[in-house]
Structure 1
């Protein structure tokens, strides 16, 4: 009987980890898509890819996961560029990717 309880606990832990990973991937996809739309670039492949996972301490003091995702975008539809974002829980803590161009016409200051 104790082995069945341990098996159930392990199954619940695995489901909790999988569910949190899916939620983080969906949040990362939303953030990547929004960043590409705001910068006026093309979000390629319509997905993010998990690139890293590590333990970290959240601001609340609890241990949790910090997940790194990568995505690809293009300015012209030909060249591919890689963006990267890091989520701590569901909070964005780092972003490297497309930015809105800041063009100042020549002669204006």
Structure 2
């Protein structure tokens, strides 16, 4: 077996590892997007997420890894369309913009200024 074959096998293994990690991240993002829509009581449109970007970032442990961005669409009434975004660093969700459950927050009473 020549050195060319070994290099091709290494490249093939690296490509398979990258594809497998990207597929796993997309499936994880899909679950997160669907769960967020269910929790907020909105309609998750198109039943999928779309890869939006990828970059190399350092994790909390200082190791290099991929940070993948995804987007998805949701609707409140089936007519309007809104875009949600989420960012995964590895399998950890680091950013989310999308539907939230409506809630009312109470503000503390204002105190007069002296």
Which TM class, normalised by the smaller chain length?
over 0.9
Deviation at 1:59, TM superposition (A): 1.1
Give TM-score, length-normalised by structure 1.
0.93
Structure 1 residue runs without a partner (length 5+) = 105-109
Residue 70 of structure 2 is matched in structure 1 by: 69
Q: What secondary structure does 1:53 align onto? A: strand
Residue 53 of structure 1 pairs with residue 54 of structure 2 = yes
Query: Number of residue pairs matched?
Result: 104
Could you say which structure has the larger radius of gyration?
Answer: 2
Per the normalisation by structure 2, the TM-score is 0.89
Match of residue 45 from structure 2:
44
Q: What per-residue deviation string (whole Å, max 9, x for no partner) do you get for residues 46-97 of structure 1?
A: 0000000000001111110000000000001001000000000000000000
Give 2:85's aligned residue: 84
Cα RMSD for the two superposed structures:
0.9
Runs of 4+ in 1 over 2 A off after TM superposition: none
| Matched residue, 2:112 | none
